[in-house]
Amino acid sequence: MTWLVGLIARMPVTVHAKLLAAFLAIVVLLITVGAVGLQTLSAVNRRAENLVQLQRKIAAYRQLQHDTTSQLYSVSSALLVPDERTLEATLRQLNQFGYDLDRLQFVAKDEVELLSRVREDYDQFIKVVTQVVELIRAAKVAQGREVQLVQAGPLADRLERLTNELVNKAEADMVASIDATHEAYVGSRWVVIGFAVGSIALALSLGYAISWSLIGPVRHMDERLKRLASGDFAGRVEIPNRDEFGALAANLNRMSEELGRLYQQLEAASRHKSEFLANMSHELRTPLNAIIGFSEVLLERMFGELNPKQEEYLQDIMTSGRHLLSLINDILDLSKIEAGRMELEPSAFDLPAALEGCLTLVRERATRHGITLGLTVDEHLGQIVADERKVRQVVLNLLSNAVKFTPQGGRVAINAVRADGATEISVSDTGIGIAAEDQELIFEEFRQAGGDYTRKREGTGLGLALARKFVELHGGRIWVKSEMGKGSTFTFALPERPWPAS
């Protein structure tokens, strides 16, 4: 069937024309089967009419036999009771005999020879019966009886033999016709069955071929679109169709090539952007470090005393400089990840101590806002293998956000457990919560949750994006569960790594 599918696919006509041709072929098959069936029924009808004609012949022949016997009986009755009533009955019977013989001429037109002999004997029989009736009327009953015995009896026997011959021949013809009808029925039945089976097989083959000539290209293009969606722009879809599906496949290939070209351009642009940001970050960090360093020197009064106003201004410079430096570091890390230049430095480190160190860094700000801090670590958790600096950065980012968005009197807690071959670290708070529609957006670059409260808080929207990328570099994942007004829980899972060689 593959060759038929390929043949239909390569036909240079539209799908509409192919479907119309298929339906037309099925209609032709139905008409053919109907015509064969009608022809068979017509043949059966002709044979049935022939059987009816033979039955009529047999009935007419038997009626003639009956007339002959009745005629002899009426003559015998007239000889025994020679009155006018019996004579009239004999003449009436003679007329009936003539009527039935005339009717036989129309029923059995093909038995010309036998019917002519019957007609000759019948004419003689009429003369003899008429002679007997006249002798009876002339009161010559004895002579009439003698005529009956000598002439009428032999003529009646001959007529009976002729009609028997006609009956036997007609019955033989009827038996032969019945056998022929049965044979014709069997033959016609197989012809109809053969045509029907052939038509069904042809219709199914045609339907299968046309359907697969349509389904095949759809499946190939669907697979190609899935690969396109996964970022594979190099492949092509090859189908033999020369119809709309062929044109669609050609357009899909052109679109794939164009998307591949655009994707390469976007990758190049993104790479150049990351390289630019990395270079600019390095260039910005040098003067910024100088500003922070000189501010520290001035605050340590190495060049003399400061009045309160000068000290306040220097503190503002230090705070703003460190914030800007943190922002530049985030941008630098993000650009390194996008450029593929960020590498992990896994090592074994004590997780509880690292988490306690992160809490220490935010404790002063939490205490200032009346926020309680908590830490719970699974007793089976001790040292893990990961990039300690990046894990600390992820936890510290989550803690900073939790403290930032938790109102006074709230609570922020860290919980670390081992689950399903991974280390899960959660940071939960009793803050304002995150709307469901924002829970995916907050992990994107330069995105923050909506709301007036969040807009009042400082931040660039890079922290959670970096946290997700750091976790994914470890082969893990990060997610959030939150409800407005009830707080949030950020959780990230780090898969277990083999211990480094000592």
Number of separate domains in the chain: 3
CA–CA dist 317, 298 (Å, integer) = 11
pLDDT per residue as tens digits for the range 290-328: 888 888 888 888 877 888 888 888 888 877 887 777 777
pLDDT at 502 over 60: no
- Do the domain assignments include residue 291? yes
- Do the domain assignments include residue 257? no
pLDDT per residue as tens digits for the range 413-471: 999 998 888 899 999 999 888 888 887 878 776 656 554 444 444 555 677 888 888 89
Q: Tokens representing 375?
A: 């830490």
Q: What is the pLDDT of residue 58?
A: 77
Same domain, 28 and 67: yes
- CB pairs under 8 A, 24+ apart, for 81-86? 82/136, 82/139, 82/141
Q: What is the pLDDT of residue 318?
A: 79
Range of the domain at 319: 265-338
Confidence of residue 101 (pLDDT cuts 50, 70, 90): low
pLDDT at 202 over 70: yes
pLDDT per residue as tens digits for the range 127-164: 777 777 777 777 777 887 777 777 777 877 777 787 77
CA–CA dist 486, 34 (Å, integer) = 77
Q: What is the pLDDT of residue 395?
A: 92
Cα–Cα separations (whole angstroms), residue 96 to 61, 328, 469 = 14, 134, 120
Phi, psi of 78 (to 5 degrees): -65, -35
Q: What is the pLDDT of residue 489?
A: 93
Q: Reduce the DSSP state of residue 299 to 3 states and report it.
A: helix
Q: What is the 3-state secondary structure (H, E, C) of 48-68?
A: HHHHHHHHHHHHHHHHHHHHH
Identify which of 13-27, 147-161, 353-367 has the greatest average pLDDT.
Answer: 353-367
Same domain, 388 and 292: no
Out of 338, 367, 382, pick the residue that ends a domain. Answer: 338
Q: Tokens representing 321?
A: 């400089």
CA atoms within 13 A on the CB side of 38: 6
Cα–Cα separations (whole angstroms), residue 344 to 275, 281, 332, 341, 397 = 19, 21, 15, 10, 18
Give the single-character DSSP code of 139.
T
Q: Tokens representing 305?
A: 């005393």
Q: What is the pLDDT of residue 428?
A: 93
> What CATH number is attached to the domain comprising 170?
1.20.120.30
What would the mean pLDDT of 223-229 be, rounded to a whole number? 81
Out of 297, 321, 338, pick the residue that ends a domain. Answer: 338
Mean pLDDT of the chain: 78
CA–CA dist 127, 252 (Å, integer) = 106
Same domain, 88 and 29: yes
Write out the DSSP string of 347-413: EEEEHHHHHHHHHHHHHHHHHHTT-EEEEEE-TT--EEEE-HHHHHHHHHHHHHHHHHTS-TT-EEE
Give the single-character DSSP code of 16.
H
pLDDT per residue as tens digits for the range 32-71: 878 877 887 787 788 788 777 777 777 777 776 677 777 6
Percent of the chain surpassing pLDDT 90 = 10
| 283 Cβ contact partners less than 8 Å away, ≥ 6 residues apart | none
> What CATH number is attached to the domain comprising 382?
3.30.565.10
Out of 338, 355, 384, pick the residue that ends a domain. Answer: 338
Residue 453 near residue 432, CB atoms below 8 Å: yes
- Do the domain assignments include residue 404? yes
Same domain, 479 and 355: yes
> What CATH number is attached to the domain comprising 286?
1.10.287
CA–CA dist 441, 465 (Å, integer) = 10
Same domain, 137 and 161: yes
Same domain, 282 and 421: no
Q: Note the residue count of the chain.
A: 502
DSSP run (H or E) holding 151: none
pLDDT per residue as tens digits for the range 331-359: 777 777 776 667 778 888 898 999 998 89
Query: What pTM was computed for the model?
Result: 0.47
Residue 8 near residue 242, CB atoms below 8 Å: no
Q: What is the pLDDT of residue 306?
A: 81
- Do the domain assignments include residue 258? no
Rg of the chain taking only CA atoms, in angstroms: 58
pLDDT at 194 over 90: no
- Do the domain assignments include residue 380? yes
Same domain, 334 and 351: no
Give the single-character DSSP code of 444.
S
Q: What is the pLDDT of residue 63?
A: 73
Same domain, 203 and 63: yes
CA–CA dist 205, 3 (Å, integer) = 12
- Do the domain assignments include residue 462? yes
Same domain, 26 and 146: yes
Same domain, 18 and 157: yes
What would the mean pLDDT of 109-135 be, rounded to a whole number? 73
Q: What is the pLDDT of residue 409?
A: 87
Q: What is the pLDDT of residue 501?
A: 52
User: How buried is residue 26: exposed, middle or buried, by Cβ count under 10 Å (0-12/13-18/19+)?
Assistant: middle
Q: What is the pLDDT of residue 13?
A: 65
Same domain, 327 and 387: no
Q: Tokens representing 287?
A: 């003067």
- Do the domain assignments include residue 243? no
Q: Reduce the DSSP state of residue 305 to 3 states and report it.
A: coil
Same domain, 210 and 276: no
Q: What is the pLDDT of residue 451?
A: 46
Cα–Cα separations (whole angstroms), residue 167 to 96, 122, 170, 349 = 20, 17, 5, 121
- Do the domain assignments include residue 88? yes
pLDDT top residue among 347 and 237: 347
pLDDT at 111 over 70: no
Q: What is the pLDDT of residue 177?
A: 80
pLDDT per residue as tens digits for the range 371-405: 999 999 988 888 888 988 889 989 998 999 899 88
Q: Reduce the DSSP state of residue 161 to 3 states and report it.
A: helix
